[in-house]
């Protein structure tokens, strides 16, 4: 795991955008794995700016989102499809046909999960998967104790996750309690993973993910198995790390070709 600690979430998001922009410049038909949540919003804004000011071209890019609430159509304002359209897709020159989000309204949800896996394979696999981190260590909607080898599946959301996300819903009761999500095995198949976690609420999850044992109780710890996982933190979210000085040391002694941005 490559741990990059930056002074603020703002700087971390700019770096994350730079990493994704480089992937798109080097491979114009890249396949991006995308995430929702508050964390990557600033990163998307920066990618939109790079598109507008520097001509970053998304016309041949394909995207796959991590997850979607069950029961919400893409027109629902709380659906992740809607989130992606409003916060990213409609501001760049991406072909909407190439943007994939699991369909939470599919009549056969198991078939939708299998089909989603197949569509990722047909696209050639994910070049870089963007991830946030739940307060309980979840990635995508893979809640604690879910199989570390899971593929796209149906998950029951934990009470803590629902409470954490209820602020944007306005009411806990109105929230769907189930979601479709790429599995941890699906995420680990991406050629590169880029996880962002900022703020004091993520301290414990970050500590368990980076320095805890590899364990299903902290799904994010599965990234320890990934050969190319980059984790961007800020001072707040990294406050519980025992080896923070070591990560900073490694970061400041990188060879030129190892630098991210």
Shortest distance, position 200 Cβ to ligand GLP, whole Å: 12
In the bound state with ligand GLP, the residue whose beta carbon lies nearer, of 56 and 139, is 139
Residue with the closest Cβ to ligand GLP?
132
The residue among 150 and 161 lying less far from ligand GLP, judged by its C-beta, is 161
**67 a catalytic residue:** yes
HSE, side-chain direction, 13 A CA sphere, residue 163: 5
| Marked catalytic residue, from 46, 103, 127, 143 | 143
The token pair that represents 200 in the structure block:
């004091």
Distance of closest approach, residue 207 Cβ to ligand GLP, in angstroms? 16
User: Do the strands 178-181 and 153-156 form a parallel or antiparallel pair, or are they unpaired?
Assistant: antiparallel
- CB nearer to ligand GLP: pick between 84 and 94: 84
**Of 66 and 231, CB closest to ligand GLP:** 66
- Distance, CA of 187 to CA of 150 (rounded, Å): 9
CB of 39 to ligand GLP, least distance (A): 3
- Name the CA radius of gyration of the chain, rounded: 17
- Catalytic residue list contains 138: yes
Residues found near ligand GLP in the complex (CB under 6 A)? 35-39, 66-67, 132-134, 140-141, 161, 165
Indicate which residue of 67, 112, 164, 207 is catalytic: 67
How far, in Å, CA of 20 to CA of 30, rounded? 10
Other beta carbons within 10 Å of 119: 14
Q: Please say whether the beta carbons of 35 and 88 come within 8 A.
A: no
DSSP helix/strand/coil, 55: coil
**Smallest distance from the beta carbon of 38 to ligand GLP, in angstroms?**
4
The 8-class DSSP code of residue 146 comes to -
For this structure, is 136 an active site residue? yes
For the annotated catalytic residues, the residue numbers are 67, 136, 138, 143
């Amino acid at each position: 795991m490559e741990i990059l600690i930056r002074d603020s979430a703002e700087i971390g998001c700019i770096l994350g955008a730079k990493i994704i922009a480089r992937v798109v410049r080097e491979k114009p038909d890249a396949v991006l794995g995308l995430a929702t949540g508050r964390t990557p919003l600033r990163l998307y804004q920066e990618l939109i700016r790079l598109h507008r000011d520097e001509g970053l071209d998304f016309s041949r890019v394909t995207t796959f989102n991590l997850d979607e609430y069950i029961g919400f159509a893409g027109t629902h304002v709380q659906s992740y499809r809607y989130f992606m359209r409003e916060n990213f897709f409609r501001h760049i020159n991406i072909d909407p046909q190439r943007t994939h989000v699991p369909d939470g309204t599919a009549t056969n949800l198991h078939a939708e999960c299998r089909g989603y896996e197949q569509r990722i394979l047909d696209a050639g696999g994910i070049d870089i998967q963007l991830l946030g981190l739940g307060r309980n260590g979840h990635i995508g909607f893979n809640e604690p104790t879910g199989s570390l080898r899971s593929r796209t599946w149906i998950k029951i959301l934990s009470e803590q996750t629902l409470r954490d996300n209820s602020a944007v819903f306005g009411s806990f009761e109105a929230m769907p309690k189930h979601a479709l999500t790429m599995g941890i095995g699906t995420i680990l198949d991406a050629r590169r993973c880029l996880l962002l976690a900022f703020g004091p609420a993520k301290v414990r999850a970050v500590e368990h993910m980076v320095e805890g044992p590899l364990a299903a109780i902290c799904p994010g710890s599965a990234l320890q198995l990934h050969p190319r996982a980059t984790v961007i933190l800020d001072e707040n979210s990294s406050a519980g790390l025992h080896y923070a000085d070591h990560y900073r040391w490694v970061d400041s002694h990188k060879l030129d070709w190892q630098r991210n941005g």
